[in-house]
């Protein structure tokens, strides 16, 4: 991995992330949840962003767009399908788009579900994924603009990335997600151990991210639609993978 990362908290539970390529000196920001903590991170790291990669239009991901653009004259890249709702957007992307950064290129993965135009940014060389509000540690985003099969397809695409890929998400929701995960997958030893680690990290006020695709495949119920134990617990042995996913999402909404 060549890209360096600085992750910090914004608002209540949003993550801000700066990524930096030491060779070229280039810095990018993933989403812009809040101006002050982002400025503090720039100050602390000395990494001045020239690029802002937006994942979706929600206010807690774009609020600081215009202020940061004014201060750093950075280029704002975001999903074509949501361009009208993204302040200051300069360039739009969709499935398969590539965004040059330092010595590599981010590959854009179209991941609708939480919003209809949500995109994730994958850096295959550095093995990094920024999945914002699509894939969370032990969870997935709420279905605010799409039906469950749409989110299922998006998650399936992310689940197919190399297992060692480090995953950075939009929010620190992991503890609540772990408590829910244990209700549908209670006998999963790897999940039990992870839940304990998460409890300890949160008790110390530490972040639970990044995670990896491999860790999520082993413990995140929203990617474990094919698992026989989970299917048995739900009474859905013969359902389709998408149906199992939809049921788990519904239960989490009512948890």
**Any alpha helices (H) in the chain, and if so which ranges?**
35-45, 59-62, 65-72, 148-159, 174-184, 189-203, 213-219, 228-234, 241-253
Half-sphere exposure of 181 (CA within 13 A, CB side): 31
Separation of alpha carbons 55 and 190, rounded Å: 30
Between 58 and 194, whose beta carbon lies closer to Fe ion? 58
Between 21 and 133, whose beta carbon lies closer to Fe ion? 133
Between 20 and 58, whose beta carbon lies closer to Fe ion? 58
**Are residues 52 and 84 in contact, defined by beta-carbon separation less than 8 angstroms?**
no
Closest residue to Fe ion in the complex (CB): 58
Q: Shortest distance, CB of residue 76 to Fe ion, whole angstroms?
A: 17
Separation of alpha carbons 252 and 255, rounded Å: 5
Between 107 and 133, whose beta carbon lies closer to Fe ion? 133
Contact residues toward Fe ion (CB under 5 A) are: 58, 133
Between 88 and 170, whose beta carbon lies closer to Fe ion? 170
Q: Shortest distance, CB of residue 34 to Fe ion, whole angstroms?
A: 14
Between 11 and 156, whose beta carbon lies closer to Fe ion? 11
Q: Shortest distance, CB of residue 68 to Fe ion, whole angstroms?
A: 18
Q: Shortest distance, CB of residue 124 to Fe ion, whole angstroms?
A: 25
- Cross-strand partners of 169: 132
Residue whose pair of structure tokens reads 């590539």 in the numeric block: 98
| Alpha carbon distances (Å) from 109 to 106, 148, 150, 175, 197 | 9, 18, 14, 27, 30
Question: Of 216, 207, 180, whose CA–CA distance to 15 is shortest?
Answer: 207
Task: List the structure tokens of 105.
Answer: 């290129």
Q: Shortest distance, CB of residue 144 to Fe ion, whole angstroms?
A: 7
Q: Shortest distance, CB of residue 86 to Fe ion, whole angstroms?
A: 13
């Amino acid at each position: 991995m060549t890209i360096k990362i600085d992750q910090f908290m914004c608002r209540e539970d949003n993550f801000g992330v700066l990524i930096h390529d030491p060779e070229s000196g280039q810095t990018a920001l993933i989403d812009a949840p809040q101006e002050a903590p982002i400025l503090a991170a720039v100050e602390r790291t000395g990494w001045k962003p020239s690029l802002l990669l937006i994942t979706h239009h929600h206010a807690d991901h774009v609020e600081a767009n215009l202020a940061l653009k004014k201060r750093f004259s950075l280029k704002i890249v975001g999903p074509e399908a949501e361009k009208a709702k993204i302040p200051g957007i300069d360039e739009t992307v969709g499935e398969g788009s590539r965004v040059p950064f330092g010595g590599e290129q981010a590959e854009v993965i179209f991941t609708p579900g939480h919003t209809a135009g949500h995109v994730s940014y994958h850096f295959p060389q550095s093995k990094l994924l920024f999945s914002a509000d699509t894939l969370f540690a032990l969870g997935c985003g709420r279905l605010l603009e799409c039906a469950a099969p749409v989110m299922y397809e998006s998650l399936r695409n992310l689940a197919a990335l190399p297992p060692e890929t480090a995953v950075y998400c939009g929010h620190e929701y992991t503890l609540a997600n772990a408590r829910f995960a244990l209700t549908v997958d209670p006998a999963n030893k790897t999940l039990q151990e992870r839940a304990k680690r998460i409890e300890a990290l949160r008790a110390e006020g530490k972040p639970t991210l990044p995670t990896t695709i491999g860790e999520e495949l082993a413990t995140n119920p929203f990617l474990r639609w094919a698992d026989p134990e989970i299917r048995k617990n739900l009474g859905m042995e013969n359902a389709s993978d998408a149906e199992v996913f939809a049921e788990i999402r519904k239960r989490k909404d009512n948890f």
